[in-house]
Amino acid sequence: MDVNGRGGSSTVLSEEEMDLRRGPWTVEEDLTLVNYIATQGEGRWNSLARCAGLKRTGKSCRLRWLNYLRPDVRRGNITLEEQLLILELHSRWGNRWSKIAQHLPGRTDNEIKNYWRTRVQKHAKQLKCDVNSKQFKDTMRYLWMPRLVERIQAAAAATSGSSPAAVAAHQFSGSCDIVAGSAAVPQMAAGGADFYGGQVSTGYTPENSSTAASSDSFGAQVSPVSDLTEIYNFPVSDNQNPDFFQTDQVGYTDSLISPSGYFNQGLDFQSMEPNTQWYEGGDTATADNLWNVEDIWSVQTQFTNI
DNA sequence: AAACTACCCAACCGCTGATAC
DNA sequence: TGTATCAGCGGTTGGGTAGTT
C-alpha cells in the first residue's frame, strides 16, 4: 500500500510547478487546514496538503498544525514549573527538544527550543560562559533551579495552602536541601504525575492566527527580559559590595556543593509520563524579570570562588 | 518623531531514519 | 538491494514589535 501517495501515476511536482506558498499563514489557510484535519485526520502531510487544496508543502502544513493550530497547543509564558522542568530535562538530554516537549503537555519542541535559545543561552552569554560549560550547568543546577523551587513554593503558598500546586511545591521543596535544609527527603517522583494537576485547553480561534495579529494577540505575554533573570534576585542584590554577597551566601554556597544535596540526587522525572496533566492553571504572571546585572556579576564572582 | 537596537517567535532549511515500492 | 518519498528532528533565519537613544 502506498500510504504516502508514492508511485502509480502520481507525479511529484517541484515547488515552483505547484506554485507553493511560503511565509506566514493566512487565516484562510489555517481554517482550511483545521477543517481538513477535523474531517480527514492528520498525517500523510504531502497528500493532505494537496487534497486540502493548500499551496503548501506537507512539511509546512505539519509544522503549522503541530506548532500552532493543534487544539491542545498551550500558549503564554513558560511557567516556573515548566522552566524548572526544561532545565532539568535539558541537563539530562541536551538539545532533544522533541523529547523534552513530550514532558511538557501542550508545549511544542519549537517553543521550548526558542525559550532555551532566547532566554537561557542569553544568560550564558551574560555570564561569559558557554551554555554547555560546567560552570553554566552548575549555575543552572545549583542556583537557578533551587531558586525556581523557592518561587514555585512561594507562589503556591500564596494562592492556596492545599492546592495541588501547594502540595507539589511542598513536596518539591522538601526534596531540596538547598531550599529546605534537608537531604533525607522524597524526590520529585514522590509527587509523581500529580505534581501539577490541571488541564490543558487552548482552543484554536481565527484570532490565534499569526497573520491575524502579532504574537502577543494570542496571549503570549512575553517578558522583555528573560524569565530566568529573576532567579538571582537575592536580597543582597542591591548591595554593590561583592564581599557582602559572599559573606551572606556562605551557607548557601556550601549547600550548593553539598554531596548530599537534592540536586545531587537529581529529580526523578523518569516517572513522569508524556501527556501528564501536570500544571495548575497556567501561571503566566510569574514568569517575569528577576535577575539584574548585579546578580549576574555576583553569581559569576561566586563561581569563580568555588 | 525617527533611527537604532534587542528581543521574540513563526517558519524555513537541511539532515536523518523509516518505509514503500 | 537500491531508490524515492515521507515524517520528524534540530538548527537557523527573517519579520514584527517593543524599548532606547
- pLDDT tens for A160-185 read 654 444 444 444 444 433 333 333 23
Task: Tell me what pLDDT residue A238 has.
Answer: 35
A202 and A287 assigned to the same domain = yes
At residue A130, the pLDDT reads 75
Q: pLDDT digit string (tens) for A256-283?
A: 333 233 333 344 444 444 433 333 333 3
Asked if residue A20 belongs to a domain, the reply is no
DSSP string, chain A: --TT--STT--PPPTTTTT---SSPPHHHHHHHHHHHHHH-S--HHHHHHHTT--S-HHHHHHHIIIIISTT---SPPPHHHHHHHHHHHHHHSS-HHHHHTTSTT--HHHHHHHIIIIIHHHHHHTTS-TTSHHHHHHIIIIIHHHHHHHHHHHHHHH-SSSHHHHHHHHHHHT-HHHHS-SS---HHHHGGGGS---------GGG-TTTS-GGGGT----SS-GGGGGG--GGGG---HHHHHHHTHHHHHHHT-TTSHHHH---GGGPPTT----SS--TTS------HHHHHHHHHHHHT-
Rounded distance, CA A77 to CA A223, Å? 8
The verdict on residue A7 lying in a domain is: no
User: Which nucleotides of chain B does any protein CB come within 7 A of?
Assistant: 7-14, 19-21
Domain's final residue, options A10, A37, A69:
A69
Same domain, A235 and A265: yes
Same domain, A140 and A42: no
Identify whether A5 is part of a domain: no
Q: Is residue A130 part of a domain?
A: yes
Q: Which nucleotide is nearest to A214 (CA to C1')?
A: C16
* Residue A6 counted as domain residue: no
Overall number of domains in chain A: 2
> What per-residue confidence (pLDDT) applies to A214?
35
**What per-residue confidence (pLDDT) applies to A112?**
87
State residue A18's pLDDT score: 52
Q: Which of A19, A36, A69 is the last residue of a domain?
A: A69
* Pair A141, A255 in one domain: yes
What average pLDDT does chain A have? 58
Co-location of A48 and A107 in the same domain: no
Which pLDDT belongs to residue A271? 45
Find the nucleotide nearest A48 (Cα to C1′): C6
Q: What is the pLDDT of residue A242?
A: 31
Residues A136 and A168 in one domain: yes
Name, of A5-9, A69-73, A180-184, A198-202, the range with top average pLDDT: A69-73
Q: Are residues A94 and A61 in the same domain?
A: no
Å separating the CA of residue A297 from the C1' of nucleotide B12: 37
Tell me the HSE value of A240 on the side-chain side, using a 13 A CA sphere.
0
Which bases along strand C come within 7 Å of a protein CB atom?
4-13, 16-19
CATH at A39: 1.10.10.60
| Residues A43, A99 share a domain | no
Q: Which residue has the higher pLDDT, A149 or A1?
A: A149
Residue A14 belongs to a domain: no
Q: Is A35 inside a domain boundary?
A: yes
Total number of residues shown for chain A: 306
Together in a domain, A33 and A172: no
Q: How confident is the model at residue A121 (pLDDT cuts 50, 70, 90)?
A: confident
Taking the mean position of all CA atoms in its chain, how far away is CA A32?
29
- Angle value at C-alpha A210, between A226 and A24, nearest 5 degrees: 110
One domain for residues A51 and A167: no
Q: What is the pTM of this model?
A: 0.64
* Contact present, A176 and A185 (Cβ < 8 Å): yes
Residues with CB under 7 A from strand C: A 4-6, 12, 43-48, 58-59, 62, 95-99, 109-110, 113-114, 117, 213-216, 224
Per-residue model confidence as pLDDT tens digits over A211-251: 333 333 333 333 333 344 444 443 333 333 333 223 333 33
CA of A246 to C1' of C14 (A): 44
The x, y and z cell numbers of residue A57, run together, are 508543502
Same domain, residue pair A267 and A231: yes
Question: Which range of residues forms the domain containing residue A149?
Answer: 80-304
Residues A31 and A155 in one domain: no
Nearest-angstrom CA–CA distance, A133 and A140:
11
Q: Which residue is nearest to nucleotide C18 (CA to C1')?
A: A224
A236 CB-side CA count, 13 A? 16
Band (A59; pLDDT cuts 50, 70, 90): confident
C-alpha cell of residue A232 = 538571582
Nucleotide C13's nearest residue (CA vs C1') is A23
Domain boundary among the residues A69, A89, A122 is at A69
- Looking at the predicted structure, is the pLDDT value of residue A113 above 60? yes
The answer to whether residue A8 sits within a structural domain is: no
